[in-house]
Amino acid sequence: MMSEPSKKTYRPWEHQRYRQEAHSPEAKLPEGDVVFFVLDTVSKLDLSRFYAFYEDETRGAPPFDPAMMVCLLLYAYCVGVFSSRKIAQACERNLAFIAIVGQERPDFRTISDFRKLHLDAFRDVFVHVLRVAGEAGMVKLGNVATDGTKLQGNASRHKAMSYGYMRKEADRLREDIEALVTRAYQQDAEDDAALGSRRGDELPAELARREARLTTIEAAMQRLEARAKADAEAERQQRAAAEAERQRRGTKRRGKAPTPVQETPDDKAQTNFTDPELQSMRTNNKGWDYCGNAQVSVDAAYQIIVACDVTAESNDKQQAAPMAQWTMAHLGQAGIMRPTDATGAVQKIPATYDSGYDSEAAAMAVEQGGFEPYMATGRQRHHAPEPEVPEPPVTATDRMAAKVQTPEGCALYARRKVIVEPVFGQIKEARGFRRFLLRGLDNIRGEWRLVCLTHNLLKLWRYACAPITV
C-alpha cells in the first residue's frame, strides 16, 4: 500500500537539474574564503626556483604549472589535507580545490613527486610569508618563545631491531650463508659431472636473500656503533663541564664515582630499518615510538612562526642555539628589523624557553646570538621556597635563574606557554597533522617547514584578510 501524501510542504529538490549545473567557485564559496587568499598570495610569490627545475627538460608532455602546484599544496595544508591521494581526490570533488586546478587535475603521484622535488624551494616561500607578516605589523619581537613537540615518523616499531639481537641474527645468517655456499659447491660439482660444459643454475635465491639481509643488519649495527661513539664523546664533555663547575664553586663530588663511559652500544639500543634516521622517543601517552622532535620559535604578537626545524634528538638542550640561529637568519632574510631603544641602539630580543633547554652552553649561545634568554632552570613546585641565587651571578645559568625570579622576568616567562603551546594545538588538533608522511630527516624538515608556512598563512588570513562578521 502506498503511504498517504504528507500535508507538510517542503522546498523543491531537483537533483537531476542540480547534477547538470555548472557551479562557479567564486559564486558558491563565501566571500573572503581562504582559497582566494592563497590564490592571491601565490600570484605575488617569486617562484623562480620552482620553474628553474623544468626549464631544461624537453621530454614528455608539458608539466603542470608550478604556480598551480604550489597553490594546491599550500591550500591543502591550510585545510588539513596532507595525503597526496586525498589531495587528488579533493581536486575532483571539492569546489575550493577545483577553484585552483580547474579541469587540469593532477593525479596523486604528480602531487607527491612535486612535493618531494621542491621541499627545499619552499624555504623561500616561508621567508616571503614571514616578510608579509612583518610588513603587516604582525611580528613585534617582544617575546619569542621556543618549544618542541614529538611527531610520529613514517616508521613502524615492528621494523626495528635491538643491537643485541642484531649480533645474534648476524651470526645466524653467516652460518646459514656458509652452509648454503657449501651446498652450492656440492651441487655445482654434481652438475658439472652430469652437464659437462653446459650452463648450470644461477645463485640460489635463499643465499641472495640472506646476504642482502646480512648487509642490511651490518649497516644498522654500524649506525648504532657510530651513534654510541658520538654519545660517549658528548658524555665526556658534559662530565668535564660539570667537574669544572664543581671546582669553580669549590664543592665536592657526592655519591659514587661515575662508571666509565662506554663507546659500544647497549644490547637494548634499537634502530629502525624503515627510517634509520629517526630514534625511539617517549610520547605523551607514556609509550615509545619513532618520532621527530619538531621545533618552532613563535613571536608573541600574533603567534607567527619565525623559525622551525626537526631533529632526531629527543632532548631539547642542544636545540636552543640552532633555533636562535635560524630565527636570526629568517628575520634578516625577511627584512624584519630588531627592536631598538630610545637612542636607536639595537636591543636583544627577549626569548623564553622551558626547563628542557636549560644548560650553560645553551644560555651562552643564545645570548651571543642576539637574544635575551629567559630560561627556566628547573621545575618549581607550588608553594616551594625560591632557590637561592648567588650574588652576583657568575655563570649564564646563574644569570638565568636571577632574571626569571624578577617580577619582569617572571611576567615575561609566564607568557611562554600561551605563545608557543597553542601553536602545536592548532597544528595537531585543528588541522590534524600528527605524523610525518615522508621519510628521511631532510624530507621531514621540509615537510615541517611546509606545515609551519601554512600556519603563518592562516594567521595572515585570519588577522588581516578574513571577513569580519557581527
* Distance separating the N- and C-terminal Cα atoms of the chain: 52
**What pLDDT was estimated at residue 226?**
79
Closest to 427 (Cα-Cα) out of 305, 292, 280, 257: 305
pLDDT higher at 417 or 246: 417
Single-letter amino acid code for the residue at 93 = R
| Mean pLDDT of the 32-48 span | 91
**Residue 318 pLDDT class (50, 70, 90 cuts):** confident
Written as nine digits, the cell of 323 is 633555533
Q: Can you give the pLDDT at residue 381?
A: 55
Per-residue confidence (pLDDT) for residue 57, from 0 to 100: 74
Q: Are 66 and 54 in contact (CB under 8 A)?
A: yes
Please report the pLDDT score of residue 429 as a whole number. Answer: 93
Domain boundaries along the sequence of the chain: 16-118, 124-155+278-465, 160-251+262-272
The four Cα atoms 96, 98, 100, 102 give a dihedral, to 10 degrees, of -160
Range 168-177 average pLDDT: 75
Query: What average pLDDT score do residues 453-459 get?
Result: 96
Instruction: Tell me what the mean pLDDT of segment 145-170 comes to.
Output: 78
pLDDT at 374 over 80: yes
Hey, what's the cell of 327? 630565527
User: If you average pLDDT over residues 363-379, what whole number do you get?
Assistant: 84
Please answer whether residues 111 and 84 qualify as being in contact, where contact means their C-beta atoms are separated by less than 8 angstroms: yes
Count of CA atoms in the C-beta half-sphere (13 A) of 192: 6
Partners of 310 in the β-ladder: 294
- What mean pLDDT is reported for the chain? 82
> Which is higher by pLDDT, 278 or 134?
134
Examine the pLDDT at 470 and tell me if it is beyond 50: no
* Lookup: cell for 22: 555548472
191 pLDDT tier (thresholds 50, 70, 90): low
Q: Is the pLDDT assigned to residue 459 strictly greater than 90?
A: yes
pLDDT in tens, 83-113: 999 999 999 999 999 999 988 899 999 999 9
Buried b (16+ CB within 10 A) or exposed e, 387-411: eebeeeeeebbbbbbbbbeeeebee
Any idea which of 116-125, 238-247, 369-378, 437-446 has the lowest mean pLDDT? 238-247
pLDDT above 80 (res 232): no
Q: Which tens digit of pLDDT belongs to each residue from 67-83?
A: 999 999 999 999 999 99
Say whether pLDDT at 197 is over 70. no
* pLDDT classification of 210: cutoffs 50, 70, 90: confident
Give 400-436 pLDDT, tens digit per residue.
777 788 888 888 888 999 999 999 999 999 999 999 9
pLDDT at 145 over 70: yes
Tell me what the mean pLDDT of segment 149-156 comes to. Answer: 84
Residues 159, 179: Cα–Cα separation, whole Å: 27
Under 8 Å between Cβ of 298 and 427: no
| Residue 377 one-letter amino acid | T
Residue 176 predicted with pLDDT over 70: yes
